[in-house]
């Protein structure tokens, strides 16, 4: 293998730049030619592919976003689109690919490998932490800390006005961010897509808590079955309006996707990036390089996509116990 390429795809995550840097510098260290593909699979189809050098990734380890840009590609979902992408790689004699992203990115990579046989290794880049085969995903730690900082601030104003705040955090299908910033922020409740929350129980507990607390924080993952934080707030409010002064909703949104990556995310990203290049050179493919229990692990894309990394039920219990 002499030439490889790297791309970022799907929702960006803090630490993607650190991962790109690791891929580029490991490749150069191993005497490979390395190319950067802009705008994910869309860029691969259009041929937005440029040679990268060591200096191309200078001064980016600390930056959020992705210098390679990111996109969700509809065209890559079609066979014709993937054929165009393959032809672009073939023209440049690129023989291996590193894709940094989440499960959608890996699904595309798996199909592409199966159709054209180009070795592909993934690095887990998503703030949602919902990828099987790695304890944590790149960007998760930063996103949790961003949300936590916001919750700390919200708690100050909630306490000052005796209010109940519903704070909506990201996590389309996953409650990892909600659970971690719920524990760290001392939330009274956390509502996640993985577990159905009994609204009656929330109302009952809030009434009980009223005796000892004048304000409360409820963290809601955006994908919760009961609806958005706004809808949940309205349901709860209709049942206990008289007992609390006011109810407020704060949606943290894309603020969680940006910012300087934490040390944890930079280290994880650097390790996964290096492992991806080393894996390609050692003949690994159609898999993701992640870190489990401190060790680099290659997990088949099939497992990353189909298996669920369940949230710890004891973490939800912890929140319940510590909120009394």
Q: Which residues does the annotation mark as catalytic?
A: 128
299 is in an annotated binding site: no
Q: Give the per-residue contact string, 32-71, with ligand F6P (x = CB under 6 A; - = no).
A: ----------------------------------------
The smaller minimum CB distance to ligand F6P, of residues 11 and 36, is found at 11
Cα 3 to chain centroid, rounded: 28
> For the chain, what is the radius of gyration of the CA atoms?
22
127 binds ligand F6P (CB under 6 A): yes
d(CA 65, CA 139): 10
Q: Measured from the CB of residue 11, what is the shortest distance to ligand F6P in angstroms?
A: 4
Residue 178, helix vs strand vs coil = helix
Q: Measured from the CB of residue 208, what is the shortest distance to ligand F6P in angstroms?
A: 32
164 binds ligand F6P (CB under 6 A): no
74 binds ligand F6P (CB under 6 A): no
Contact 156, 266 (CB under 8 A): no
d(CA 240, CA 87): 62
Q: Measured from the CB of residue 223, what is the shortest distance to ligand F6P in angstroms?
A: 7
The smaller minimum CB distance to ligand F6P, of residues 172 and 245, is found at 172
11 binds ligand F6P (CB under 6 A): yes
Residue labelled with tokens 């054209």: 116
194 binds ligand F6P (CB under 6 A): no
The smaller minimum CB distance to ligand F6P, of residues 11 and 119, is found at 11
**22, 150, 151, 170: which one binds ligand F6P (CB under 6 A):** 170
E strands, the chain, are 3-8, 33-37, 49-52, 96-101, 120-124, 163-169, 189-191, 216-221, 246-251, 287-292, 295-300
d(CA 168, CA 154): 12
What part of residues 237-276 is at the interface with ligand F6P (CB under 6 A)? Answer: 257
Contact 85, 51 (CB under 8 A): no
211 is in an annotated binding site: yes
**DSSP code at position 6:** E
d(CA 208, CA 214): 11
**DSSP code at position 187:** -
126 binds ligand F6P (CB under 6 A): yes
On the 0-12 / 13-18 / 19+ scale of CB atoms within 10 A, 2 is: exposed
24 is in an annotated binding site: yes
255 is in an annotated binding site: yes
**DSSP codes of every residue in 21-33:** HHHHHHHHHTT-E
Q: Measured from the CB of residue 311, what is the shortest distance to ligand F6P in angstroms?
A: 14
- Binding segment for ligand F6P (CB under 6 A), chosen from 43-51, 155-163, 169-177, 212-220, is 169-177
146 binds ligand F6P (CB under 6 A): no
What part of residues 96-115 is at the interface with ligand F6P (CB under 6 A)? Answer: 102
The encoded tokens of residue 310 equal: 């369940």
Q: Measured from the CB of residue 298, what is the shortest distance to ligand F6P in angstroms?
A: 23
The smaller minimum CB distance to ligand F6P, of residues 117 and 253, is found at 253
Q: Measured from the CB of residue 9, what is the shortest distance to ligand F6P in angstroms?
A: 11
Using CA atoms, how far residue 11 sits from 26, 77, 115, 212, 300, in Å, is 24, 17, 25, 41, 21
What part of residues 197-226 is at the interface with ligand F6P (CB under 6 A)? Answer: 222
The residues binding ligand F6P (CB under 6 A) are 11, 102, 126-128, 170-172, 222, 257
Binding site, annotated residues for substrate: 126-128, 163, 170-172, 222, 248, 254-257
């Amino acid at each position: 293998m002499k030439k490889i390429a790297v791309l970022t795809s799907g929702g960006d995550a803090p630490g993607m730049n650190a991962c790109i840097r690791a891929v580029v510098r490991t490749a150069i260290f191993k005497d490979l030619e390395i190319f950067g593909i802009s705008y994910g699979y869309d860029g691969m189809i259009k041929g937005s592919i440029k040679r990268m050098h060591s200096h191309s990734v200078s001064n980016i380890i600390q930056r959020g976003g992705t210098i390679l840009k990111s996109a969700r590609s509809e065209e890559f979902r079609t066979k014709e689109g993937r054929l165009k992408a393959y032809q672009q790689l073939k023209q440049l004699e690129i023989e291996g690919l590193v894709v940094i992203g989440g499960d959608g990115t890996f699904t595309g990579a798996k199909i592409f490998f199966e159709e054209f046989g180009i070795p592909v290794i993934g690095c887990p880049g998503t703030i949602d932490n919902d990828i099987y085969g790695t304890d944590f995903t790149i960007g998760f730690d930063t996103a949790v800390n961003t949300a936590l900082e916001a919750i700390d601030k919200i708690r100050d104003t909630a306490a000052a006005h005796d209010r109940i705040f519903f704070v909506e955090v990201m996590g389309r299908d996953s409650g990892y961010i909600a659970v971690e910033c719920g524990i760290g922020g001392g939330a009274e409740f956390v509502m996640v897509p993985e577990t159905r929350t009994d609204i009656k129980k929330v109302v009952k507990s809030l009434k009980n808590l009223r005796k000892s607390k004048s304000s409360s924080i409820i963290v809601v993952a955006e994908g919760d079955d009961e609806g958005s934080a706004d809808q949940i707030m309205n349901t709860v409010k209709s049942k206990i309006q008289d007992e609390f002064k006011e109810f407020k909703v704060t949606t943290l949104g894309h603020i969680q996707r940006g910012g300087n990556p934490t040390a944890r995310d930079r280290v994880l990203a650097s390790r996964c990036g290096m492992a991806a290049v080393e894996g390609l050179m050692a003949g690994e493919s159609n898999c993701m390089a992640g870190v489990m229990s401190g060790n680099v692990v290659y997990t088949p894309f099939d497992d990353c996509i189909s298996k669920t990394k369940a949230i710890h039920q004891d973490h939800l219990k912890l929140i319940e116990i510590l909120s009394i």
